[in-house]
């Protein structure tokens, strides 16, 4: 479809941003992160244009098949980064966000998972439920990326091996704070989306696979949030990263197995 072109361009933008971000991280001299943010910002505009055009053409929130869902998930990641990065002076996190977003989009664009078709009315509750859940997962993704940055810094400090990354990455203390705040924010949004799902009238039988998966994800993050005051920062970061890897690895399979979450055209 024509709208895929915009996503393709956006993905190229994320690739360029990832390249610049990684160069800035590894450079021995101070390198401005302005290009990372500008490139991600420009790619985000194209990404939004894709979602808008797709939404217009299918007359639904563009999360009706796995391709659109992945594109929406990666869009949520970038949106969170664009809010969190400048607000907390963590623009360098773009060096971590851009590669992940590029990989998600690359998979979405290359895998045969885009099967548009005529859809019945889905109802605003269902669209809100799905989009909130995906937005929450996007926010949790940025928390995981902040966790990755924390773990890299922590490892360098523990091993006393101070590479150029040590100077480019944010301080450990602010990284912890940002990670915790974004984690709580993502959990609240994901929970709101999940809870909304219980109030949607179901025509079919309950989708136990998806409900069980959502329950596992919710429980994992709930335990993490409860443990924020007790777990060490390193364990919190490890669990946040591990949890998100679990989400990314199982997202495809769960969406394939899920019945109620597959729309009538078979996407």
Q: Which residues bind another protein (CB under 8 A)?
A: 28-30, 153, 157-158, 160, 162, 166-167, 171-174, 229-235
* Contact status, residue 24 vs residue 92, Cβ threshold 8 Å: yes
Q: How far is the CB of 15 from another protein (least distance, A)?
A: 27
Q: How far is the CB of 162 from another protein (least distance, A)?
A: 6
Are 210 and 260 a contacting pair, CB within 8 Å? yes
- CA dist 108 and 75 (Å) reads 12
Instruction: Give least dist CB 80 to another protein, A.
Output: 21
Asked if 86 and 25 touch (Cβ cutoff 8 Å), the reply is no
Is the CB of 47 or the CB of 233 nearer to another protein?
Answer: 233
The closest alpha carbon to 155, from 240, 92, 237, belongs to: 237
Cβ distance to another protein smaller for residue 105 or 240: 240
Q: Cβ of residue 173: shortest distance to another protein, in angstroms?
A: 4
Cβ distance to another protein smaller for residue 110 or 171: 171
Q: What residues contact 164, with CB distance under 8 A and at least 6 apart?
A: 25, 26, 27, 28
- Rounded Cα distance between 267 and 102, Å, is 22
Give the residue with the Cβ less far from another protein, 1 or 226.
226
Show the CA angle centred on residue 74, arms to residues 245 and 15, nearest 5°.
95
Q: In the complex, what is the shortest distance from the CB of residue 33 to another protein, in angstroms, rounded to a whole number?
A: 13
CB nearer another protein, residue 116 or residue 164: 164
């Amino acid at each position: 479809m024509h709208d895929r072109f915009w996503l393709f361009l956006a993905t190229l933008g994320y690739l360029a941003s990832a390249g610049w971000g990684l160069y800035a991280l590894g450079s021995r001299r101070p390198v401005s992160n302005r290009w990372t943010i500008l490139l991600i910002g420009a790619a985000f505009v194209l990404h939004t244009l894709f979602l808008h055009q797709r939404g217009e053409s299918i007359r639904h929130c563009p999360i009706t098949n796995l391709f659109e869902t992945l594109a929406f998930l990666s869009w949520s990641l970038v949106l969170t980064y664009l809010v969190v990065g400048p607000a907390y002076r963590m623009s360098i996190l773009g060096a971590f966000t851009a590669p992940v977003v590029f990989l998600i989009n690359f998979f979405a664009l290359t895998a045969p998972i885009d099967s548009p078709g005529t859809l019945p009315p889905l109802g605003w509750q269902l669209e809100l439920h799905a989009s909130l859940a995906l937005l929450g997962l996007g926010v949790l993704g940025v928390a995981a990326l902040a966790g990755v940055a924390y773990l890299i810094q922590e490892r360098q400090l523990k091993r006393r091996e101070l590479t150029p990354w040590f100077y480019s990455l944010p301080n450990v203390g602010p990284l912890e704070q940002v990670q915790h705040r974004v984690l709580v924010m993502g959990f609240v949004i994901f929970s709101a989306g999940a809870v909304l799902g219980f109030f949607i009238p179901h025509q079919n039988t309950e989708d136990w696979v998806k409900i069980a998966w959502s329950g596992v994800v919710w429980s994992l993050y709930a335990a993490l949030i409860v443990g924020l005051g007790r777990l060490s920062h390193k364990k919190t970061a490890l669990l946040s990263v591990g949890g998100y890897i679990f989400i990314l690895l199982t997202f495809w399979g769960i969406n394939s197995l899920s019945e109620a979450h597959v729309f009538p055209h078979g996407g």
